[in-house]
Structure 1
């Protein structure tokens, strides 16, 4: 005789609430965002962009300060399009354009440079 399975328990955080974040929320302009959640999402999008650009720049091989500026413009453009056009976030609620555009910038720039230098050095020397 088979035993009935108990329903799977909902994953919970230590505070007892269910998971506060779902991937569908990433593209939902109607979703509500708090400052920490939006900051985390922008940070990780920028990290992925930094890693991808670093790998591509190093593999091609691109050299020069112009490509650093291209990365900064591209990375900031991706972030701006994401929060302004896709999520339709009002920047003033989150501290203005500067606060949202700077989210994760230093860390992604560091990751970009690291990936670019390592891939370039390994592939072309």
Structure 2
């Protein structure tokens, strides 16, 4: 499946602005003109990840502090690598990496439990 992209002045391919947020979420180095859309993608990605990890941890006999700690580490690591390596977002535009990392974490944790 070919994605719609355009060549910009710096030579990189950027996804067109009219594409949906979910299409841009799946394409590396997408352009995010609306900061709220990117944060919404992070939020909902975290919710899905919380439920999936909760089911997976439930199938494994993963309990107690170790299970909770592993959830926090996996959840934060996936978001960190998605933002920095896949999307190459300048985190300072969003208030720093901590703001992106904590976006939707507590509701994801509730879904995990």
- Normalising by the smaller structure, the TM-score range is 0.7 to 0.9
Q: Structure 1 residue 37 and structure 2 residue 37: aligned? A: yes
Which 10-residue stretch deviates more, 23-32 or 78-87?
23-32
* CA distance, structure 2, for counterparts of residue 22 and residue 35 of structure 1: 11
Q: Structure 1 residue 97 and structure 2 residue 97: aligned? A: yes
Distance 1:83 1:73, change over 3 A: same
Measured after TM superposition, the shift of residue 39 of structure 1 is: 0.8
Partner residue, 2:7: none
Measured after TM superposition, the shift of residue 22 of structure 1 is: 4.6
Partner residue, 1:21: 20
* CA distance, structure 1, for counterparts of residue 33 and residue 77 of structure 2: 20
TM-score normalised to the size of structure 1? 0.70
Partner residue, 1:108: 108
Structure number with the higher strand fraction is 2
Distance 1:30 1:50, change over 3 A: closer
Q: Mark the runs of 5 or more structure 1 residues left unpaired by the alignment.
A: 1-18, 114-125
Distance 1:35 1:70, change over 3 A: same
The structure whose RCO (Cα within 8 Å, separation 6+) is larger is 1
* Alignment RMSD: 1.8
Helix, strand or coil at the partner of 2:81: helix
Q: Mark the runs of 5 or more structure 2 residues left unpaired by the alignment.
A: 1-17
Measured after TM superposition, the shift of residue 92 of structure 1 is: 0.3
8 A contact 2:46–2:75 mirrored in 1:
yes
TM-score normalised to the size of structure 2? 0.77
* CA distance, structure 2, for counterparts of residue 74 and residue 54 of structure 1: 12
